[in-house]
Amino acid sequence: MSPSPSTPKSPPKKAASLPLRHSEATGAGLRRIARGQVDTALRALEESGDPHRAVHETRKALKRIRALLRLCAPAWSGKRLQAETAPFREAARLLAPLRDAAVRLQTFDTLVREAGLIPEEFAGIRATLEAAAQRLAHGAPRRKRQAVALLRTARTRIGRWQLGSLDSKDLFKEIRRSYRKGRKALADYHQTPCTAALHAWRKRTKTLLYHLRIVRDLLPARAAKVITELEAMGEQAGNGNDLAVLLETLAGAKAGVQSALLIGEIESLLPATTRALLKRGDAFYGEGASAFARRLGLE
């Protein structure tokens, strides 16, 4: 299918910067950022020579767009929000297996190196992980083409986003709601500790980070410290999640001495990693949403 005449065959070389600008209307700024993130994703999928990096960069852009769409919620019905989010969610779903396979391999290499293990003794496990990644790589071009088609169609819809009623106060209200959701997700994990609950909290925290990045130029200088802390917490949570994914893969594979050793290493690391992350999360989410909003000038 040929691209729509209103959509360039290749995205602009320079993606739009993320933050909203003081000088632009809120709705226009959100549309500008959304187009820039779609262009970033398209450029990664169509021009990158490194398929793993292409998928990684695309998925990051998709997460930013989906977080941005949550900020549009006050202007739309729930049905409209779901419809606008759907193509980005589907594109992320298409690319997820490619990303997960690459991350499992990278996490394995890091674990073996940092645990001081002899790589040659675990060559069989690595070969299995690499073979799985290569099998998925054969289907990567098709998945990437499907994702590109979804994103090109979604890009043409951005110009029709009716966001004229939105202003910064609406965005700040959504950010307060985002903080409350993260705080509740952390409380849910403490009440019922499990991998799913930890993952849910991690996603809420990432969404809050993306929200604050979008409005950072509208916030006082002290907000930079909060964004930095969220970035560090997200990185820490991501590393723990990668270990948990590798653990699940190893536990479901054919048992052996080497896999048992790796499972033991991960099981010895995860509790301390999780405790450190939760300590950080408890400190960050220790204040109520109103206090958080006042501290960041969201009121």
Cβ atoms within 10 A of the Cβ of 31, count?
20
The residue with greater pLDDT, 72 or 13, is 72
Return the closest-CA partner of residue 65 out of 89, 46, 82: 89
Q: Is residue 241 part of a domain?
A: yes
Per-chain mean pLDDT for the chain: 87
Residues 155 and 172 in one domain: no
Residues 93 and 157 in one domain: yes
Residues 68 and 159 in one domain: yes
Residues 15 and 109 in one domain: yes
Structure-derived torsion over alpha carbons of residues 284, 288, 293, 299, reported in degrees to the nearest 10: 180
Residues 6+ apart with CB under 8 A from 293: 172, 175, 176, 179, 299
Residues 60 and 192 in one domain: no
* Whole-angstrom Cα Rg for the chain: 21
- Spatial separation of the C-alpha atoms in residues 180 and 203, rounded to whole Å: 13
- Please give the average per-residue pLDDT across 121-142, as a whole number: 86
Instruction: Please tell me the total count of domains within the chain.
Output: 2
* pLDDT tens-place string over residues 223-243: 999 999 999 998 888 888 888
- Predicted pLDDT at 23: 85
Residues 141 and 26 in one domain: yes
Residues 74 and 153 in one domain: yes
Domain finish residue from 132, 149, 166: 166
Domain finish residue from 166, 191, 216: 166
Residues 6+ apart with CB under 8 A from 183: 285, 288, 289
Residues 123 and 237 in one domain: no
Mean pLDDT lowest among 47-51, 199-203, 245-249: 47-51
- Predicted pLDDT at 228: 94
Q: Is residue 4 part of a domain?
A: no
Domain ranges, residue 231: 167-299
Residue 296 has pLDDT above 70, yes or no: yes
Residue 249 CB-half CA count within 13 A: 23
Cβ atoms within 10 A of the Cβ of 63, count?
18
Domain finish residue from 166, 183, 199: 166
